[in-house]
Structure 1
């Protein structure tokens, strides 16, 4: 498995960023970051209703309530942006607009040996605990993207 640098949290811009190399073609990576059944294999159980920009649904992990998620932007084969409610507000909101949310974007760049994938998540200044959320999500992107690399480099997604 390809070993990548860890995510970085920037408290000045309230952003988390991680760039990784994946020994898999961009088409395979695109499928893994845009199709709910494939996202669910590495990131969290994801259900989206509809297709394209505006598609909405939920994302969740075991022992946690599912949280609202929505596709904000798509540039086919190049980038996809999601908005999700991830602040601990004591209840699960019905839509992503009912509570503080952050935005994360996956950007893909073809390389001679696979794909360079960057994720950047912003908006933590709107959460109840910006510093805690930054660190939690920094660790989360390390864990989840390592799973993605393992999945893509070891399976026939």
Structure 2
């Protein structure tokens, strides 16, 4: 069966440098990507471990924190940050990529994630990433987070 890929994109009125910080610094990621869910990124280099402690909130069902493990696949400063989620939860290894590009005096951020096997999984993730990108835009632009 062919694997499906999620792709979501948003334009942000901010420099690529500022946006890169928000996408790659653990403390900042924890503020806008599933707010209240801490990230751990000890070092920003390929092969380094990443932990994401997905905490319950109004957009994430459940009552317990779920810790997801990943490995940094690729880092191209100010352009690309990719991580590979470990398959222990889903049985499928997925790669999530943040790509940044200068556009119209701002930054275009595109999230892609490959490895989905069902349309339902894909649709749920698309919705989540749409929320996350709206949060990123608001965070970087200095506005209240919508989600």
TM-score with structure 2 setting the length: 0.80
Write the distance in 2 (CA, Å) between the matches of 1:112 and 1:86.
38
The 8 Å contact of residues 83 and 102 in structure 1, kept in 2 or not, is answered as yes
Unpaired segments ≥5 residues, structure 2: 57-64
1:102 to 73, 94, 99: 94
**Is 1:21 aligned with 2:37?**
no
RMSD after superposition: 2.1
CA–CA distance in structure 2, aligned partners of residues 103 and 122 of structure 1: 6
Find the aligned partners of 2:89 and 2:124 in 1 and give their Cα distance.
Answer: 12
2:140 aligned residue: 152
2:60 aligned partner: none
1:48 pairs, out of 41, 44, 54, with 41
Q: Kindly state the Cα deviation for residue 88 of structure 1 after the two structures are TM-superposed.
A: 4.7
Give the TM-score normalised by the residue count of structure 1. 0.75
1-structure distance, mates of 2:96, 2:26 = 16
Shift, 1:112, TM fit: 3.0
How many residues are treated as equivalent by the alignment?
Answer: 132
| Cα distance between partner residues in 2 of 1:80 and 1:57 | 12
> How is 1:1-157 mapped onto 2 (pairs within 5 angstroms)?
14-43=4-33, 44-63=37-56, 64-85=65-86, 88-89=89-90, 99-125=91-117, 130-154=118-142
Maintained 8 Å contact 2:14/2:140: yes
